[in-house]
Amino acid sequence: MKRLRHLIDISDLTTAEIDGLIATAEDIMTHRAKYAHACEGKKIATLFFEPSTRTRLSFEAAMLELGGSTLGFASASASSTTKGESVMDTIRTVGAYADIIAMRHPLEGAALAASQRSIVPVVNAGDGGHCHPTQTLADLLTIKNRHGRLDHLVVGICGDLKYGRTVHSLINALSRYPGNRFVMISPPELTIPNYVRYEILEPRSAEWTECRTIEDCIADLDVLYMTRIQRERFSDINEYERLKDSYVLNAEKMKAAKADMSVLHPLPRVKEINVDVDDDPRACYFRQVEYGKFMRMALILKLLADAESGEFPDPVRRPLTDLGTYRCGNPKCVTAVETDLKQMFSLRDATHDIYRCEYCETKVKKPRY
């Protein structure tokens, strides 16, 4: 069977490959004509089971600028999901029409599940509150372009660090470069999930601190990555209402920041960046949108070339442990809905019998039979 390359998690790319994608994106930015026919005859399917403006359109714009074409749907209600079709069957079907699939889904682990069934490369365009690797590619190009490097930076990440999937992927990528230090700015209820803490930051000995206000740390930062509070992920709307205006960056607060600090935001913003910051030369969030398209162009080229050659490193997957009939208990995990999926668990802590679900990375304690 043909070997396929997917991008499910930013860990699927080596650091050298990320640097290579940045180099290709920079080349595309300066030599647009050279790439105008690179994907002639190729199609991308954008399957968005959850709302999107930038990500879906930028995948489509990316393929069009490479000379290819696009098909797909922009909401679950426009697909056969409403008739009860599984994601797995949808994916298998779309592989008959397209050469590559970009998929967004509200369930954590949905892209990994899709990749198991797909006959073409799958790109995770966001799986619930889990991860969003192509937003990270856009973020990295923005930072590289602004600061000339991806290492030895002080990076403040502010807002919803619990449900913000872009935050998880960004930390995963930036903690691989030497000398970066993170300042996590969030209310106590929205701090980073345990798996980011114990499986990304801790094993890499990444330096990080927590802070409750922007004012307390803005002067130290090279990058301030703002995020919105993720309303759609809260099970208690009152909790969202209480936390939604936790942070607002404005021109007044920017006065204390370094002259070359950059402000990023994956967008959409709600109220967390005041419009009076937009004209500040340090505001990079609209440029970040443009960079997203160039990085997605570079990624499409790479995944199609890798699918063609079949030559690429194996994705780093943890060895699986059979937990019998035990099922992941996370209601937001794809396995909670797509019940035919094979459960996959890997060992996290042998001393305490702790495992993790490979789809959503939720930790589970080995059941006693």
- Which positions touch ligand ASP (CB under 6 A)? 126, 132, 135, 165-166, 227-228, 266-267
Question: Taking the complex as a whole, how short is the minimal distance between the CB of residue 297 and ligand ASP, in angstroms?
Answer: 19
Indicate if the alpha-carbon torsion angle 217, 223, 224, 227 is positive or negative: negative
First to last CA, the chain: 38
Contact between 18 and 173 under an 8 Å Cβ cutoff? The reply is yes
Question: Taking the complex as a whole, how short is the minimal distance between the CB of residue 269 and ligand ASP, in angstroms?
Answer: 8
Q: Given 2, 30, 83, 368, which residue is catalytic?
A: 83
Q: Given 5, 6, 24, 55, which residue is catalytic?
A: 55
Sheet containing 363-365: order of strands: 320-321, 345-349, 354-357, 363-365
State yes or no: is 132 an active-site residue: yes
> How many angstroms separate the CA atoms of 166 and 136, rounded?
7
Q: Which amino acid is at 147?
A: H
Residue nearest to ligand ASP (CB): 266
Question: Taking the complex as a whole, how short is the minimal distance between the CB of residue 75 and ligand ASP, in angstroms?
Answer: 14
For ligand ASP, which is the closer residue by CB, 162 or 228? 228
State yes or no: is 55 an active-site residue: yes
Q: Given 6, 104, 144, 302, which residue is catalytic?
A: 104
For ligand ASP, which is the closer residue by CB, 23 or 270? 270
Pull the structure tokens for residue 101. Answer: 């699939």
Which has the closest alpha carbon to 43: 114, 115, 101? 101
Question: Taking the complex as a whole, how short is the minimal distance between the CB of residue 266 and ligand ASP, in angstroms?
Answer: 4
Contact between 362 and 333 under an 8 Å Cβ cutoff? The reply is yes
Q: Report helix angle 15-30 to 133-147, nearest 10.
A: 70
3-state secondary structure of 48: strand
Distance, C-alpha 57 to centroid of its chain: 16
Contact between 171 and 194 under an 8 Å Cβ cutoff? The reply is no
Contact between 88 and 110 under an 8 Å Cβ cutoff? The reply is no
For ligand ASP, which is the closer residue by CB, 138 or 200? 138
Question: Taking the complex as a whole, how short is the minimal distance between the CB of residue 350 and ligand ASP, in angstroms?
Answer: 34
Question: Taking the complex as a whole, how short is the minimal distance between the CB of residue 176 and ligand ASP, in angstroms?
Answer: 21
For ligand ASP, which is the closer residue by CB, 104 or 176? 104
Q: Given 5, 43, 105, 132, which residue is catalytic?
A: 132
Cβ neighbors of 326 (< 8 A, separation 6 or more) are 343, 345, 364, 366, 367
Question: Taking the complex as a whole, how short is the minimal distance between the CB of residue 163 and ligand ASP, in angstroms?
Answer: 9
H helix intervals, 200-250 = 237-243
For ligand ASP, which is the closer residue by CB, 4 or 333? 333
For ligand ASP, which is the closer residue by CB, 79 or 227? 227
State yes or no: is 37 an active-site residue: no
> How many angstroms separate the CA atoms of 241 and 243, rounded?
6
Pull the structure tokens for residue 15. Answer: 């650091």
For ligand ASP, which is the closer residue by CB, 35 or 163? 163
Catalytic center residues: 54-55, 83, 104, 132
